[in-house]
Structure 1
Amino acid sequence: MKKALTLFLTAVFAIFVLSACQNDDEDKESSKAASVEVNKEGFPIVDKEIGLSMMAPGTGMEEWKNMPTLKKYADMTNITFEYETPPLSDFQTKLNLAFASGDISDIIFGAGTNNLTPAMEVDYGQQGVLLPLEDLIKDYAPNLQKLFEERPEVKKSITTVDGHIYSLPMVNAETGGTSASWYTGPLWYNGQWLDALGVKELPKTTEEFYELLKRFKTEDPNGNGKADEIPLLDVKMDSSRPWLLSAFGMKTWGIEENDGKVRYTPIQPEYKEYLTFMNKLYEEKLLDPETFSQSDEQKKAKGQANRVGVFPDWFSFFTTGETEEEAVNNPMFYPLTSPVSKERVVPLNPGIQRGTFSITKNNPNPEASIRWVDYFYSKEGFVFLNQGPEGYLWEWKDKDAGTKKQLEIPEGFESSEDYRGTLTPDYGIATPGLRSPIEGYGEKSDFEKFVNAETAKKIDPFGEVPFPLVYLTADEQKQINAIEVDLQSYVKQMEAKFITGVEPLSNWDTYIDTIKQMNIEKYVDVYQKAYDRWAESK
């Protein structure tokens, strides 16, 4: 019995000693990881390899651990990752569960503002789950620091109400003359129809636009002998609306800022004029009667059947089914003026996507982590992230001259974009970095030249950002949440009713009274205060 007790106590003591040693080793490893020396310039970022964890939305093209870009960058930096990449469709749910449990990865990458919302940044930042990044940026992120100095609006747009930065953005470096400046896909004219009718100059006023739509309706521009033309086509007005609202002096459908004053456009007199004009188009069947009921697939089918005169899309050939070479004949919509707005204006993309990179409290190496992401805010770093290392999409043609040669994609891929999605995480999600045009492949295509020229002529001279990216306090967010869902639902419903004539515009005052009862004054006031904070920040 005594011998058995002795053996038992010996075993317990051994387990205790072993456990203590293991804990001591873990503490040492943790301490060592936390105090790892970070090189402030060049590569590697750390002299001895460290491992971190990352949570990001997966696009299903390839396991991140197998992506050549990430494998090459691990070699360059001496930082490896364990990746958690739930499908994009399920990412927000998984991210919310990770926040709730506290078992969250060291880095949140590529979430974007739809998944890591501004309210979440503020909430989890103030709880200490997301680390403040501004001091790390000053000490370890020279590319980001340079960006903040050159473009103060970027720093203002990612600094929360408590003065901290909890998440880094994706930023467009050069938007002028490229599609990066687009607020949404533009309206395009059917060039074949313009040629058939001998139209040499595009409409520049709402009246001229109306007259051209009437010609599209009555003069058989598709030449099939049938009265099957649809002058103006959209799905629920979501894509056409920004460009048509602008003809009446409004930059967006909702909150916008003009000369420091915030307003809600769907209650403005100019909005009533927009509805009146659209109702006129609908009543005369110049606007597709199926606008508020059809799907994107139905819209595309009409475009491919050459039944459409004016339509929205990112590029016109997405709707028409033409080639890029044929699509250069489809001119971009020219901004209109109207009797209530003599100045041309179009909405402009702010060029900033928030919520793309955050460091959590579980991260033992925030300094190394911020250096890791800072590379993507350099021109060289973004090209590496976007195009991957040499030997997959490209190879050097003349390295000294900076020219590259595009490589043939392997069999089994429908496009170079599909193949690129297996090489890099910069595919289908908002990744951190300073996005700039990819150069070195020689002369641009005729279609790219066409798009850039149209943008430089018809969007850039008239573009204004409708409203800056702001943050709300927790109390302000609560007030907005109590108003916004019902407000947006009602306004959207009434737009369709007014345009189709189900609700006569003689009931405009009733519409306004209903919105006032929804506390629109408080809604605008919250955004006015948020704008004022943004404007006054440095």
Structure 2
Amino acid sequence: MKTRKKLILALGITLFSTLLVACGTSNGNKKEEGNKAKESSVKLNTDGQFPIIAEGEELTLSIMAPGIGLAEWKDMPTLQEYMKITGIETTYVTPPDADFPTKLNLAFAADDLSDIIYGAGSNALTSAMEIDYGSQGILVALEEFITPEIMPNFAKLVEEDPTILKSITTPDGHVYTLPMLSRGGTAIWPAGPMWYNGEWLDNLGVKELPKTTDEFYDLLVRFRDEDPNGNGKKDEIPLTDVEMNSSRLWFMGAFGMKVKGIQEDDGKVSYTPMSENYKAFLEYMNKLYTEGLLDKEVYSQSGDQKKAKGQNNQLGLFPDWFSFFTTGRGEEGALNDPMFQPLTSEISPEPVVAGSARLSRGAFAVTKDNPSVEASLRWVDYFYSVEGARFLEQGPDGFLWESAKTKDGEEVRVFTPEVDLNDTESSRGKITPAFGLTTPNIVVDQELIRKSADEEPDTAFRDWVNKETKEKIEPIAEVAFPLLYLTKEENDKVSANATDLATYTEEMEAKFITGVTSFDEWDKYVKTIESMGVEEYIATYQAAYDRWAAN
């Protein structure tokens, strides 16, 4: 295989050198040997353009990925067209998304892997699996291919933001998976935000959103007592969620925490569920629950039941990706539902919220029997460009959209007649794999498809959401803990009690908030956590953080 020019990045060189030295020379050499890419006899075009393979050559790549279920991958126009563009045939193994982690593990165990693992995400293709199967040579190390010649789009992103490379490099100095990179206007969201019911605010004459926990409490009391939905019934639910899974992050910020779990502050790692800050959060939520301000069904209802209440105009504040998903009022109605303003309290006078790392690992991996690693990476690199991401998300001309010209002669994209304009996402999910998966590409705010050539796309809602995000979340968002890898030994240490800790603290959170367990039991609760090995748990993450920070 021809010699490949390395990506010349000062930080990149320092990072790899430091990591390899840290692993030990002999160990590093051993793993390097086990991760060499398979030699390929397939000739590729050398100009870096499409098609990827040279004239007269043939190449077929098999892909294993989660199936969402709207369409078979072999029938997706985006993938069919991309085969024509690249000259590479692709075949697919796509077990249902819910079964994918099990099917992937079985494929590894049986040595029956496809050439490419696509869209798995870190829940299915975990960091521990990357390190384990990478060290065995089952997953191919990719760092030598991240060059301007082979992956010009991804290499450019890494050059602009070296933390990308840092976040996908394992402790043995290798890159085994490529990420999804989120760069859109809402990429900083750690989860769906919370939204106020704008109609209720208008009916109560509320001009300014609460900024402290005391002001927020007062508003919830008004939601409960002043009939803001105007039906003459006391059926209002000031605040709701499903098991606190979405709202927890936003309220914990008012008490100086970014996450329920491992958190880093100024280089020190802690476990927040045993902190006094967390106790204050629980006491506050217990007060809301006890006084009928937090939904009494918060721990028993489903997401659909929550939405039914929203569509019945019973909710004052609720979490969702967008408010109209809960209320059913559409984007225009949602423009009147302001995003939650993060709160402060006596414990935390400065607001803080968890921020997304804007990077998701495990999106693309190459396995040991792949017939051409270089071709595979050139195949995926296109999607790390804005143009390629748009192709992946919207597909080729004639399916989701078609070309049209405005009266001024400008060429634009309009939805095809077959697309239901009230449910465009269902149509999109049938033409592309970039639907509900952690796909290997850059995600940006794309130019919207128009309903008709001379009707400007309505970006009002997206612009408003981005503005709310920029004003309320971006200035105070902090990543709770950096996206890093644990060594195999470290992972073995934390995995032994991670599940037990999470299960116990979630159970006790519900009991404290609903009043089933008194706060007189707090010391006993903390001692139980201590008895579950939390000290070693924290120390392990501290060591991993220190190593990450040093590199």
Q: Which residue is equivalent to 2:327?
A: 320
State the shift of 1:417 in Å: 1.3
The 2-side partners of 1:411 and 1:45 are apart by 32
Gaps of 5+ in 2: 1-37, 450-455
Check if 1:292 corresponds to 2:292: no
CA separation of 1:401/1:141 partners in 2, compared to 1, >3 Å: closer, same or farther? farther
Shift, 1:393, TM fit: 2.2
The equivalent position to 1:43 in structure 2, one of 38, 50, 55, is 50
Which position in structure 2 is the counterpart of 1:134? 143
Q: Per the alignment, in what secondary structure is the counterpart of residue 260 of structure 2?
A: coil
User: Aligned-pair distance for 1:84?
Assistant: 1.3
Amino acid of the structure 1 residue aligned with 2:152: P
Cα deviation for residue 68 of structure 1 reads: 1.5
1:404 pairs with one of 409, 412, 417: 412
* Residue number in structure 1 paired with 2:501: 487
Indicate how the Cα distance of structure 1 residues 229 and 412 shifts in structure 2: closer, same or farther if over 3 A, else same: closer
Match of 1:417 among 425, 434, 439: 425
Q: What's the CA shift for 1:169?
A: 0.4
Amino acid in structure 2 at the alignment position of 1:140: I
Letter in 2 for 1:288: D
Deviation at 1:319, TM superposition (A): 1.4
The 3-state SS of whatever aligns with 1:180 is coil
Query: For the Cα contact (< 8 Å) 2:167–2:484, is it kept in 1?
Result: yes
Amino acid at match of 1:85: T
Offset at 1:396? 3.6
SS at match of 2:430: coil
Displacement of 1:33 in angstroms is 5.0
Match of 1:153 in 2: 163
Q: After alignment, is 332-341 or 66-75 more displaced?
A: 66-75
Deviates more, 1:329-338 or 1:255-264: 255-264
Q: Is 1:385–1:424's contact at 8 Å kept on the other side of the alignment?
A: yes
Question: What's the CA shift for 1:63?
Answer: 2.1
Q: Tell me which amino acid in the other structure corresponds to 2:135.
A: Q
In the alignment, does 2:91 pair up with 1:77?
no
- Following superposition, the deviation at residue 66 of structure 1 comes to 2.2
Q: 1:335 to 1:401 in 2, by over 3 A?
A: farther
Corresponding letter in the other structure for 2:271 = Y
Q: Which residue of 2 aligns with 1:114?
A: 123
| Aligned mates of 1:401, 1:119 — CA distance in 2 | 54
* 2:545 pairs with one of 504, 525, 531: 531
> 1:367 is matched with which residue?
374
Which among 516, 519, 527 is matched to residue 533 of structure 2?
A: 519
Q: Which amino acid aligns with 1:76?
A: I
Q: Which amino acid aligns with 1:491?
A: T
- Residues 496-523 of structure 1, C-alpha deviations (whole Å, 9 max, x = no match): 1111111111221111111111111111
Q: Which amino acid is 1:434 matched to?
A: I
Give 3-state SS (helix, strand or coil) of 1:256's partner: strand
Instruction: Find the partner of 1:508 among 512, 518, 522.
Output: 522
For residue 263 of structure 1, the aligned residue among 259, 270, 278 is 270
Q: Which moved more, 1:125-134 or 1:86-95?
A: 86-95
What is the deviation of 1:413?
9.1
Query: Aligned-pair distance for 1:391?
Result: 2.0
Match of 2:72 in 1: 63
Distance change >3 Å, CA 401–CA 467, structure 1 → 2: farther
CA apart distance, 1:444: 4.1
Residue by residue over 1:32-66, the C-alpha shift from the partner in whole angstroms, topping out at 9 and shown as x without a partner, is 95353453511111112311211111222222222
SS of the aligned residue for 1:231 comes to strand
Take 1:155 and 1:523, find their aligned partners in 2: how far apart are those partners? 26
Q: Is the 8 A contact 2:42 2:59 kept in 1?
A: no
Question: Tell me, what secondary structure is at the counterpart of 1:181?
Answer: coil
Q: Distance in 2 between matches of 1:173 and 1:414?
A: 26
- Give the corresponding residue for 2:484: 470
Aligned in 2, Cα 1:413/1:63: closer, same or farther, shift over 3 Å?
farther
What is the CA distance between 1:490 and its match in structure 2?
A: 0.7
Query: 1 CA distance for matches of 2:133 and 2:503?
Result: 29
1:413 and 1:168 map into 2 onto residues whose CA distance is 34
Write the distance in 2 (CA, Å) between the matches of 1:413 and 1:210: 40
Residue identity matched to 1:337? T
Contact kept? 1:232, 1:287, Cα under 8 Å: yes
Matches for 1:79-478 after TM superposition, within 5 Å = 79-138=88-147, 140-174=150-184, 178-397=185-404, 403-410=411-418, 415-439=423-447, 441=449, 442-478=456-492
| SS state at 1:195 partner | helix
Query: Cα deviations across residues 385-421 of structure 1 (Å, max 9, x unaligned)?
Result: 1111122222344699985222235168972211112
Supply the distance in 2 between the matched residues of 1:96 and 1:413 (Cα, whole angstroms). 40
- Of all paired residues, the percent bearing the same amino acid is 55
CA deviation after TM superposition for structure 1 residue 383, in Å: 0.9
Cα distance change, pair 85–414 in 1 and its aligned pair in 2 (3 A)? farther
Mark the runs of 5 or more structure 1 residues left unpaired by the alignment.
Answer: 1-30
CA distance in 2, matches of 1:327, 1:414: 16
Moved more, 442-451 or 344-353: 442-451
Q: CA RMSD in A?
A: 1.9
* Per-residue CA distance 1:148-187 (angstroms, 9 max, x = gap): 111111111111111100010000134xxx2222111111
Residues 137/492 of structure 1: CA separation in 2 closer, same or farther (3 Å cut): same
Alpha-carbon distance in 2 for matches of 1:126, 1:336? 46
CA contact (8 A) 1:122 1:160 kept: yes
User: Letter of the aligned partner of 1:534 in structure 2?
Assistant: W
Q: 2:16 is matched with which residue? A: none
SS of the counterpart of 2:146? helix
Alpha-carbon distance in structure 1 between the residues aligned to 2:463 and 2:411: 19
Q: Which amino acid aligns with 1:505?
A: F
* 8 A contact 1:402–1:440 mirrored in 2: no
- Contact 2:192–2:322 (Cα < 8 Å) also in 1: yes
1:182 counterpart SS class:
coil
Q: Is the 8 A contact 1:413 1:419 kept in 2?
A: no
CA contact (8 A) 2:286 2:515 kept: yes
Distance 1:407 1:159 in 2: 41
Higher mean displacement: 124-133 or 63-72? 63-72
Count of residues in Structure 1 that have an aligned counterpart in Structure 2: 504
Does the CA contact (< 8 Å) of 1:409 and 1:419 recur in 2?
Answer: no
Could you tell me how far apart the structure 2 residues matched to 1:368 and 1:149 are?
22
Q: 1:53 aligns with which of 58, 62, 77?
A: 62
Q: Distance in 2 between matches of 1:146 and 1:496?
A: 46
Question: Structure 1 residues 89 and 382 mapped into 2: Cα distance closer, same or farther (>3 Å)?
Answer: same
- Report the TM-score, using the length of structure 1 for normalisation: 0.90
Q: 2-side partners of 1:359 and 1:401: how far apart? A: 45
- Equivalent position amino acid for 1:428 in 2: G
Shift, 1:449, TM fit? 2.2
Q: Is the 8 A contact 2:42 2:58 kept in 1?
A: no
Which letter maps to 2:491? Q
Distance of 1:494 and 1:426 partners within structure 2: 38
